[in-house]
A and B are shown apart, each in its own frame.
Chain A
Amino acid sequence: MPWLTIAVLLPLLGAALTAALPARLIAAPRIIALSAAGLSLLALLITVARFDPGAGMQLVEEARWIPSLDVAWRLGVDGMALALCLMSAILFLAAIAYGVGPRPLGRTAAALLLSLQGATLAFFLAEDFFLFYVAFDLTLVAMYFLIALWGGERKRYAALKFFLYTLIGSLPVLLGIIALSLSAEGEPTFDMIRLAEERPIAGSGVGASLVFLAFFVGFAIKTPIVPFHTWLPAAHVEAPTVGSVLLAGVLLKLGTYGLVRVNLQMLPDAFAQFALPVALLGLLSVLYGALVAMAQTDLKRLIAYTSVNHMGYVVIAIAAAASTGISPEARALAIDGAVLQMLAHGLVTGALFFCVGFIHTRAHTRELGALGGLMKPMPVYGSLIALAFFASLGLPGLAQFPAELQIFLGAFDAWPAVAAVAVIGIVLTAAIFLRALQRAFLGETPERWKRLPDLDRRELVTLLPLLILVVALGVYPRLALDLISSGSWLQ
């Protein structure tokens, strides 16, 4: 069975089905969405069972699509793709369970969420540049509508900015893809597996550099790397809860995934030339993101900026892996760490945005100054968000610690100074989260918050699986690392 194809197509079919449903079936969209997402996750779990961590790119499914361009429906997995797919599928399941817009989940919302899921999985699994790009852009469209339909007050501005800005990112990627495909030996091809093996644009000349930069700018905007990040806070603040969860949890990973898959694997020489500048940009993201986050008073904006910080670590790791002076072990460490950080950040930040959404629906504010003493009326909520906070600041035993540690270990091998300075970021994030915790959750409880209800069942069902995974990955990171095993696919 083509399980990968099934995993991609099930959500898309579900989207089509829900979109076509008559409006009077009120409960159906939620049921269809949940089952489509669940079955898709199941297909991925089956793939895990069939997966051989040591074999690199594998389980390739290929079907003719546009032979004259050598475009095909090519799906395949390696450790990174599979791990990210699993994480995305879980987040999507949680997002669908929580829902967006009016309750119960409406047709449009279900269709959008499912198509976003399908596109995301297709992106991670794509081994064909055409499909890769199609999926890359489809996520934009779906997210645009999620923000535009159910966002906050300035949703139009935010949605437009998001769409425009990330389209600015995606189009250079398209140019890069074209340049890569044209430079393949013989006929142009969009086959990513072949392009990764042949590496038609070798060396670090002007042409290779331009192609590299085209891809880099695109992925940098998506990631986002400072200074390409300004769309992120606007989009996050205005997006609905689920939109933020998926944006931070899943969509940001598209950028770093692309950096690894394309820039690192297909343009290694050019990347080596730019490795240090890229790493410095990553370092800038780490420090700058943390500093800006520290000054935020809106909890959601704060978390949005910490995403810049956390993704900065990933960028440093990828750049380190691309540098020439790095040992193979450190390279594997860096990329393992980068992928694990993507997973961990997805789960942790997803959980955090859910938490922010919970409080926003209750208190209708996210201002740290207005909140306070929430631990008392909402002890469960408080403990869980504290756990998520600690996870996000990289506390050992929680998922981001092994990721960041591996990143530091890998990057230290390439540039000790960069890694050492990057470590300072963990202090800054600690400051950010502890102060947020102190201001919003501890201290005296104002009268108006004394009666806030604690989490209900639906919210717990949404949140707990994510946090359980965060703990599990933190205690036993090999849960993911054995799957990722970047050493086997990273030449």
Chain B
Amino acid sequence: MNHISQVLWQFLIKWLTNFQLYPPEASKIAPQMDALYFFMVLVSLIGLTIVILLVVSFSILYSKKRHPVAVQIEGSTLLEATWTIIPLGLFLIMFVWGALIYFRVYTPPANAMNIYVVGKQWMWKAEHPGGQHEINALHIPVGRPVQLTLISQDVFHSFSIPAFRVKREAIPGRYTTVWFEATTPGTYHLFCTQYCGTNHSAMIGDIVVMTPEDFKRWLAESTSGMSLAQNGERLFASLSCNACHNGRADSRGPSLANVYGSKLTLTSGQTATADEAYLRESILNPSDHVTQGFAPIMPTYQGQISEDGVIALVEYIKNLDSNYRVDQTLNTTGLLPEGEGRAASAGTKPAGQTPAAKGTVKQ
């Protein structure tokens, strides 16, 4: 008995000292989200109190003992209107307020630094533009908007950082984005919140928020020697993308320099903005959107490049502001024979080419 009460006691102490009602507010959006949350809590409490107060006081006032004969009342249009309109009004406020926050969370600012995140059963892999990879962790600087571009290699996952109040589904076959700006250095939980199979509950990690200086140091220490764009460049050459996208006047494919962010007109007549998702789709499903003025000859690379590879390519194309680099690689690798352009060929190329051409295709 004594033993049990001690355990209980400790338990209580532990509870009281660690008691929290909501997680730390470590991002810019968190206080805004919490404001709405507490508004809703408040409204709910008031609503609930009204209901409980009415029920309890009517129960006391009109219990059979005190009020033996019921008075029949048909209803009241005025009251009906009241309790239709007031909750409706409150709910509508919540709807508008909520939608504002929703759009804020899912509309990254233009100056955000972009980090790619690939989810797979059962880990998170983050890829920084500088080529730093991390598994089940994400290091970010404080005070800088960070955009995540998420994708899954297999099933739905969901990237959740409760302390930032953000969460976004990683979908197979499609990029999604979310952004945040961390405000307080520290380590926070990263969860996969979408049920994704056996080890769903182990698909967790740490979000490490650092001061800008620390972050710089971390970036320098964890570099793999090759940035994402450089990786992409190697792939670009080894997949012989540059056979068509060489930026020359007679090239078969459109020049990719500065294509990122531009508005393209498709043969279907629609226009499209070339964002990450568009670039990815162009590589994997080129037939879905053919740029005006070009023949639909680009082969699909579906099944030949891993998501990480696509990310590297996208990052490379994003940063391509002139065709100088493409030209450089072209000069070193030489034009590939007609019909080439398969990933498979990359591995079977004869030795003696520049190291830049020896990109590993599947990571």
The answer to whether A and B interact is: no
Q: Which residues of B contact A (CB under 8 A)?
A: none
Instruction: List residues of chain A with CB under 8 Å of any chain B CB.
Output: none
